[in-house]
């Protein structure tokens, strides 16, 4: 019934803008306006309720709108654009808050924890998938999504293994659900002081175990600016490891059902290139390229763009997807999330 109502909705008239905007932008404008309004509301909500992060507020407002109201279809091009391109632009601008000195100051522990957590989680998830009767491809997709960088890793794994679209959708849904839960629970766990974590080690924990880059940003910066910066840097270690992993995986597959040429083209298409922009901003900031005033404006712009991305993510979160994940992928994704969280925390405590 809801789907029928959505299809009957007519787009908001933007005829007064025809001839002034490219057609693609005109299509995305309603959704972009919606996510921008939600972002403004999130900033206001955070100012009124001090213990609520604006990033979490933006996603929460989006989830409420999506699951309790009808969202017409013409909003979704802009919503999807917000949660992808706009969010990535915000992450690029986050690089203006970080310098190479901070990166080098993390120490070898910040490299060891995410690396060990990634490898062990991938192995354990594949084993759990076999235990629960999942196909090798789906087990690999869930493992890559949990251990590396969420949906981006699932898409890369899916294209390399020529997985079914249904398997990719189920894997992304499971990763999104459990990554979102981690994003919401980690700040609460830290504030309750359940584990002996400092701001820095909390950032390492978040960066080593939370799934999506956007979820890492939210969980990290919801506690403190310094913990957010550490979380993003540690997360980048996991994302960088995607390159050699995808290369090895493509070689393995090329010996069987897939040609090298297809594997190579898949990697080029799906690799998250926005991280190169993030690294470029870090280098420029390290060289003191930006003025203090420019840094201040970039910090505000980055926050607002991230809020738009989180609002888009909330508007894309349909609680009914939980029912479509299925029993076996659900538990494999859940146990895999528990494992990467636990192994990362254990390594942090042991190396402290």
pLDDT, tens digit (0-9, with 9 covering 90-100), for 103-156:
677 778 788 999 999 999 999 999 999 999 988 888 998 999 899 877 767 766
pTM, full prediction = 0.68
Q: Measured between alpha carbons, how far is 86 from 89 in angstroms, rounded to an integer? A: 5
pLDDT score of 257 more than 90: no
pLDDT at 340: 96
pLDDT at 182: 92
Number of domains comprising the chain: 1
Q: Measured between alpha carbons, how far is 342 from 349 in angstroms, rounded to an integer? A: 11
* In-domain check, residue 63: no
* In-domain check, residue 190: yes
Report CA Rg, the chain: 20
* Average predicted confidence (pLDDT) for the chain: 80
Maximum distance among all alpha carbons in the chain? 63
Rounded mean pLDDT of 84-109?
78
Q: Dump pLDDT digits (tens) for 158-207.
A: 767 777 766 776 787 788 788 888 988 999 999 999 998 999 999 999 99
Residue with tokens 């390159």: 243
* In-domain check, residue 251: yes
* In-domain check, residue 39: no
Rounded mean pLDDT of 6-14?
49
Q: What percent of the chain has pLDDT over 70?
A: 80
Q: Which domain holds residue 298?
A: 86-302+321-351
Q: Measured between alpha carbons, how far is 72 from 12 in angstroms, rounded to an integer? A: 10
């Amino acid at each position: 019934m809801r789907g029928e109502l959505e299809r009957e909705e007519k787009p908001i008239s933007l005829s007064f803008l025809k001839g002034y905007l490219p057609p693609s932008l005109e299509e995305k404008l309603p959704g972009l306006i919606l996510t921008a309004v939600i972002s403004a509301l999130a900033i206001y909500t955070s100012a009124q309720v001090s213990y609520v992060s604006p990033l979490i507020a933006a996603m929460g407002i989006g989830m409420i709108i999506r699951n309790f109201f009808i969202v017409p279809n013409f909003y979704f091009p802009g919503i999807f654009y917000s949660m992808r391109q706009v969010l990535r632009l915000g992450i690029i601008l986050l690089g203006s808050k970080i310098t190479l000195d901070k990166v080098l100051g993390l120490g070898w522990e910040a490299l060891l924890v995410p690396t060990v957590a990634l490898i062990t989680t991938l192995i354990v998830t594949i084993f759990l998938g076999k235990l629960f009767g999942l196909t090798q491809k789906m087990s690999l997709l869930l493992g890559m999504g949990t251990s590396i960088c969420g949906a981006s890793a699932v898409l890369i794994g899916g294209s390399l293994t020529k997985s079914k679209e249904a398997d990719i959708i189920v894997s992304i849904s499971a990763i999104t659900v459990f990554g979102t839960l981690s994003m919401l629970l980690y700040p609460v766990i830290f504030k309750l002081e359940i584990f002996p974590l400092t701001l820095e080690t909390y950032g390492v924990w978040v960066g080593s175990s939370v799934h999506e880059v956007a979820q890492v940003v939210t969980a990290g910066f919801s506690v403190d600016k310094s913990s957010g910066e550490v979380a993003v840097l540690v997360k980048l270690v996991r994302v960088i490891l995607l390159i050699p992993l995808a290369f090895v995986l493509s070689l393995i597959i090329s010996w069987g059902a897939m040609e090298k040429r297809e594997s190579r083209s898949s990697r080029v298409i799906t690799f998250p290139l926005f991280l190169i922009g993030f690294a470029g901003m870090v280098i420029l900031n390290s060289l003191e390229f930006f003025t203090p005033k420019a840094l201040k404006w970039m910090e505000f712009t980055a926050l607002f763009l991230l809020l738009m991305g989180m609002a888009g993510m909330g508007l894309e979160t349909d609680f009914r997807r939980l029912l479509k994940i299925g029993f076996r992928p659900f538990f494999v994704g859940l146990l895999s999330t528990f494992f990467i969280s636990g192994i990362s925390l254990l390594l942090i405590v042991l190396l402290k």
